[in-house]
Amino acid sequence: QVQLQESGPGLVKPSETLSLTCTVSGGSMRTYYWGWIRQPPGKGLEWIGCIYYSGSTDYNPSLKSRVATSLDMSRNQFSLRLNSVTAADTAVYYCARATWGDYVFDYWGQGTLVTVSS
């Protein structure tokens, strides 16, 4: 059974960089997309970006200038960096696996709340 687990600071100061890591267990990272999705408190889901196992990336156009993702298959991990954060970036951040061909997020992490505040 594939499992994903987010980790990283729960509190980030405005203008600083949010960094999260997702650890994948129970399956290979090959042939999949690995994505980040966030959900502000009381609001809907917003796709942030995905990295393919080959290293190619796709990002939400509205966040593209501030986002970077990376992949370390030797550690079964992938990471998110979001710079110049503001209070509007406060959200539960989920990591998830997407299948090539169906383009669906079939496995999700439990989510981690990141609050942007001084």
Partner 1 sequence: QSALTQPASVSGSPGQSITISCTGTSSDVGGYNYVSWYQQHPGKAPKLLIYGVSNRPSGVSSRFSGSKSGNTASLTISGLQAEDDADYYCGSYTSISTWLFGGGTKLAVL
Q: Give the 3-state DSSP-derived string for the chain, with helices as H, strands as E and coil as C.
A: CCEEEEECCCEECCCCCEEEEEEEECCCCCCEEEEEEEECCCCCCEEEEEEECCCCEEECCCCCCCEEEEEECCCCEEEEEECCCCHHHCEEEEEEEEECCCCCEEEECCCEEEEECC
Token match 């509205």: residue? 62
Minimum CB distance to partner 1, residue 74 (Å): 26
Determine, following the binding rule CB under 8 A, whether residue 20 of this chain makes contact with partner 1. no
Residue of 2, 47, 66, 73 interacting with partner 1 (CB under 8 A):
47
Determine, following the binding rule CB under 8 A, whether residue 7 of this chain makes contact with partner 1. no
> Considering only residues 56-115, where is the footprint of partner 1 by CB under 8 A?
58-62, 94, 98, 102-106, 108-111
Cβ atoms of 112 and 10 within 8 Å: the answer is yes
Q: Which is nearer to partner 1, 10 or 74 (CB)?
A: 10
Determine, following the binding rule CB under 8 A, whether residue 32 of this chain makes contact with partner 1. no
Minimum CB distance to partner 1, residue 83 (Å): 20
Q: Which is nearer to partner 1, 11 or 45 (CB)?
A: 45
Write out the residues near partner 1 by the rule CB under 8 A: 35, 37, 44-47, 50, 58-62, 94, 98, 102-106, 108-111
